[in-house]
Each structure stands twice: as C-alpha cells, then as structure tokens.
Amino acid sequence: MRFVFTRLFYALLALGLVPLSLSWGRPGLRWLTLAFDAGLLAAAFLDSRASRLPEGFEIVREFGGRFHIGAETEVLVRVSNHTPRAFKLKIKDEYPPEMTLLSPREAELSLGPQESQTLVYVLRPPRRGRFEFGRVAVRYVSRLGLVWREERAGEASAVKVYPNIRRAREAELKALGARSLVAAQRRAAWRGEGRDFESLREYVPGDELRHVSWSATARRGRLTTRQYQIERDQTVVVALDAGRLMTARIEDESKFDTAIHAALALMSAARRAGDHAGLIVFGRRVRAFVPPSKGREQVDAVLEALHAVEPELIEPSYTRAFEFIAANCKRRSFVVVLTDLVDEEGSRELLTSLRILRPRHLPLVVTIADRDLRASVRDAPASLHELFAQSVAEEIMFQRESALRLVEAQGGLALDVTTAALVPALLETYIRVKERGLL
C-alpha cells in the first residue's frame, strides 16, 4: 500500500501546532497536541485502507494500430467510472523505455459518476521486436481527502513492432512510378516478351516476324501480329540472409533491416502484378519460412515472421537454405538472395550452392555494399592512410565482382548495390525478368 499526504492533511497538521505554541506552563495542551497528531495520522492511515478503487472502476489500454519501425502510434488509456462516487485522480502509463515518447503519458482527471475519459499519447518504436507495457499507475484522493492513494490498475500487455510496410510501399511506388499503379488496375499492365497471349493487332514496322499470326493475316487480308502480356501467377521467393555480415549498421539501421524493407517492397510489387511471393530467412539454419502465396493475408504472414528475427554473428549456410528452397518450392521460381559478400570463402560457398537451384529456378544474388566503394577510389589518395583504404576497397570490389560474374556464368542474375539504390535496382530487375519472360 502506497500513499502520500494531501494539502488538507498538512493544513490540519499545522492547525494542531497552534495549541503547542500556547502550551508554555500548560502540559495538558502538549498532550492534547500529541493526541491530535496521532489521531490525524491514524485517520489518514485508515482513510487510505478504506479508499481502495471499487470494482466498478475500469482502466483499459488500447492502441491506435500496429506498431511499425519509425512510425508514430497512438496509445489510448481509457478510464471509466461505473460507480455512484466521483473521483479526482492522476494516471501515468508505464510504456516500454526503448520506445521514444512524443507526448505526455500522464494526466490529471476528474471523473464524475458513470463517466469515462481517455488519455492519448504517442510512441515511436526504434526497432522491431516484442515490447512490454506495465500496469497503469493511478493516484487518487481518498474518501476523507487526507491522502493520495496509489495503486496499479489495468493489465500489463505486450506488443509486437513490425517492419514498416508503409515505407516499403512508398519505396515501391517511388521506384516503379506509374507502372506499379497501372499494374494494380488492369490485367495487361505490362506488355513485353511474355508468353501469355493477350490479343491480335495490326502489324507495325519493328514487330518481330516470329509474332506474326499467318492464319489471322490470311483471314484479314493484312499482316496481323500476336500481342503478349506479362505472365501472372508466377512465383517469387525472397531468401534473406541473417548472418554475420548483415549485422553491419549503415546510418541508423542494420543491413538486415534494410534488406527486410527491400524484400517487402518486392513482395508488394509481386502482389500487385498477380504473382505468388514467399519468404525464407536463414543463418546456419532456416529460421523462418512463409510459403509462396498471394493476397493480403500473405503480407500479414510475412510481417509476423519478420517482427522478431535478428541477424546472428555467424556465417550463413547457403547450402541448407537452397536445399530447403529446392525441397519446398517445386514450381519454377525467381529466387532473390539478399546477402553480402566480402571474402573469397563466403563467395565460394554461395557459388557452389547455387547449383542446387539451377536450372529449375532463376536465382538473383543481391549483395548490399556498406557504401559506394567506387566513389571511394575515384580520386587520387592524398595520404598514406587513404592509399591503404583505397587498396582495401579495390580488393573488396574485385572479389565481389568476380563472385557476381561467376553467378551470371551459372545462368543466374547478380546485383551489387548500395542501400540507397537497393530497392530501385531490385524492382527494375524484377520487371525486366517478367518483361523478357525469363521465368
């Protein structure tokens, strides 16, 4: 039981000191003052014991939506008084200290009988994961007004912080522009070297002769060509490396989080294009798997799988990951591997393991650079330190480029990009694959 004295208590205590000032030569007044003070303290103690929150007093915490990295989310603490008694109280919510508090989390309320009020404050989570809210601290005036009594009310609760899907969709729209919007509106949004027949139209100079429909030409009496649309219902599988190199931080987030949002942008584009999209997260073992599917439920499943996964300080096993994909994805798929490479040993395992995917699947290996290494070696070194730094950068560039060329030699695709260029380059490659009918 916790309580603090009110102003009324201190005023009465001061009033009790008046007889003490007149007690010179009158010992009876001293005993009277002592008795008054003891009675006041006993009254305050009993008042606190008798002033518990009644059962009709309710505190419920609610949230304005899901928590996402870097997104502001409202927390609502609703206080309801279902009793015939009025309350004057102060409330203070116990939020996760890892989150950033953007507005006051405490309030002073005066609740009449059968009345409800709500405290609203805003939090911003800095990272993914699971976070704990404690119970709400309530301080209210006792029945006699002698003490502020403090209790914990409501229930403790846990929330999950998910990747920022809005950020991923904004990156997708920025990278694809009108193509992404049109794809969501009509079936034949992207035309190219697909294999799904769409319609016949009159031949125009520049059309390939292999697309000319000679039977339609004979019927119409003029050259007629077939028009194809980009295939739908294809499969995209994102393989997300959660190994040692993905723990590196660039600015305010890890490479792993950057790769997560790039994966979400790609899966969003695939959903708009009518394709199936799946996800696998791997380190030394497969840590999460969402089978390829499409629809809004698939987005929720992917967010749920990613909310608590963190990269580990161990080398990833590409072999185990690719064997898992080969065993669980029988349909030909566009397998996007988001990873990073530095040394020759890691490149060798990746290149050896790619044979597990080929020729059934089409792999795209995307390496995420710490920074633009080419920019760092563009200018002549001005000092011995810069000379050594450029030598290291050139060695890393050579090893990465050699590994990626070997990926292409095995029939796969390869990208080496910085975090800033990751989403645009990834989505452009996805569209190019579909336009050329590589799947």
Number of neighbouring beta carbons within 10 Å of residue 133: 20
Cβ contact 338:263 at 8 Å? yes
| CATH number assigned to the domain covering 57-162 | 2.60.40.10
Spatial distance between the Cα atoms of 213 and 216, rounded to a whole number of angstroms: 5
| CATH number assigned to the domain covering 235-435 | 3.40.50.410
Spatial distance between the Cα atoms of 342 and 206, rounded to a whole number of angstroms: 45
Cβ contact 181:174 at 8 Å? no
Tell me if 57-162 shares its fold with 235-435.
no
**Partners of 108 in beta bridges:** 90
CB-neighbour burial class of residue 42 (10 A; exposed 0-12, middle 13-18, buried 19+): exposed
Which residue in the block uniquely carries the two structure tokens 């059309």? 207
Residue type, 112: G
Strand (E) positions, 286-349? Answer: 286-293, 334-339
Tell me whether strands 334-339 and 362-369 are parallel, antiparallel or unpaired: parallel
Q: Is 381 helix (H, G, I), strand (E, B) or coil?
A: coil
- Report residue 104 as tokens: 């006051």
In the chain, % helix, strand, coil (3-state, to 5) comes to 40, 30, 30
Spatial distance between the Cα atoms of 13 and 7, rounded to a whole number of angstroms: 10
Largest CA distance in the chain: 133
Tell me whether strands 87-92 and 136-141 are parallel, antiparallel or unpaired: antiparallel
Query: For the CA atoms of 295, 301, 302, 303, what is the dihedral angle to 10 degrees?
Result: 110
**Partners of 224 in beta bridges:** 202
pLDDT of 190 reads 43
For 35-84, give the DSSP string: HHHHHHHHHHHHHHHT-PPPTTEEEEEEESS-EETT--EEEEEEEEE-SS
Cβ contact 269:177 at 8 Å? no
Residue type, 58: E
pLDDT of 372 reads 60
Domain coordinates of the chain in residue numbers?
2-49, 57-162, 193-229, 235-435
pLDDT of 1 reads 56
Stretch (H or E) spanning 269: helix 255-272
- pLDDT tens series, the chain, 439 aa: 577 887 888 888 888 777 766 666 677 777 787 888 888 888 888 887 877 777 888 899 999 999 999 999 999 999 999 888 888 888 999 999 999 999 999 999 988 888 999 999 999 999 999 999 999 999 888 878 788 788 888 899 999 999 999 999 888 888 877 555 444 443 434 444 455 556 788 888 877 777 788 888 888 888 888 776 556 678 999 999 999 989 988 878 899 999 999 999 999 999 888 899 999 999 999 999 999 998 888 989 999 999 999 999 999 999 999 999 999 999 999 999 999 886 666 678 888 899 999 889 999 999 987 766 666 677 777 788 777 777 877 777 777 777 788 888 888 899 988 888 899 999 999 988 887 878 7
Phi, psi of 67 (to 5 degrees): -90, 130
pLDDT of 288 reads 95
Spatial distance between the Cα atoms of 172 and 424, rounded to a whole number of angstroms: 8
Spatial distance between the Cα atoms of 125 and 160, rounded to a whole number of angstroms: 10
pLDDT tens digits, 161-217: 999 999 998 888 888 775 554 444 434 344 444 555 567 888 888 777 777 888 888
pLDDT of 192 reads 46
Cβ contact 61:77 at 8 Å? yes
